[in-house]
Amino acid sequence: MAAAIPSPVSVDALRARAAADPKAAIKEAAKQFEALFMQEIMKSMRQATLASGMLDNAGTQLGTEMLDTHFATQMTGQRGGLGEVIARQLERQMGVSAVSGAATQRPAQAAFSQTNGSARQIDFLQANQQAARAAEADTGIPAAFMLAQAAHETGWGQREIRQADGSSANNLFGIKAGSGWKGAVAEVTTTEFVDGQPRKLTQRFRAYASAAESFRDYARLMKENGRYSQVLASGGSADRFAQGLQAAGYATDPAYADKLGRVINTTLRLQRVVT
């Protein structure tokens, strides 16, 4: 019995493998490219051969094509073959280490790794630091403090507030939509502390067109609401900033200031290597 022809790995499967093991995904992709190339060679050779026409029909043509695919598959993946050349080229283009198989880290990522940071934290800070600096210019609150608060509220971007259609509300600070809010709204179930006890409640949150708009609205809230005068006066003190937010009732969590203070310290340490 002829060996079964292995089916090619789907694009989605290759993408999933690339996230976990880039080198293995590159090797598989290179092997498939090589198989396609060899199959085209077999096809060209068949076309260059004069057929008798006596036994040619749709069935024999299909059988020939399957046989060519089988031979092409069997000839791929050999040491020193075309697949290795393709794989090396892909590795260079994607920055994958030939030794470890891991993607080569950007300078900032490598520095973060040395300070117990993660790629997720890098991406979050780099994506939002420009908006945070603009908010700092408006409020005087250090950008690192606001980045830390956004990181705390969203779990470094993992716990986004989402609208009914699943799209992001871009609300990085968990700002609720009160009666005076005229913009878009996202209703979600969240944990609130009532008399010191956590409760699941459905709340209305403001929705923005972008994360940068969220930072701008946060800056307006800090400047225009007198409750946050202590926050604006915190200067460069992380403790005063966190305590000022809790004293103003920004969050119902009684441990909010302590939790935020820890994230601020982490952000200040890691931000030194983010460019």
Residues tagged active-site: 192, 217
Strand, helix or coil for residue 176: strand
Burial of 257 (0-12, 13-18, 19+ CB in 10 A): buried
* C-beta separation of 102 from 95 below 8 A: no
Helix axes 143-154, 211-224, angle to 10 degrees: 110
Gap between the Cα atoms of 161 and 169, Å rounded: 6
Tokens (6 digits) for 229:
């005068």
Gap between the Cα atoms of 48 and 128, Å rounded: 60
Nearest Cα to Cα of residue 144 among 247, 59, 266, 61: 266
User: What DSSP character marks residue 204?
Assistant: E
Nearest Cα to Cα of residue 198 among 256, 252, 117: 252
Nearest Cα to Cα of residue 6 among 60, 76, 63, 58: 76
List of E strands, 125-169:
none
Number of neighbours of residue 74 by Cβ within 10 angstroms: 14
Nearest Cα to Cα of residue 234 among 226, 244, 224: 244
* C-beta separation of 154 from 172 below 8 A: yes
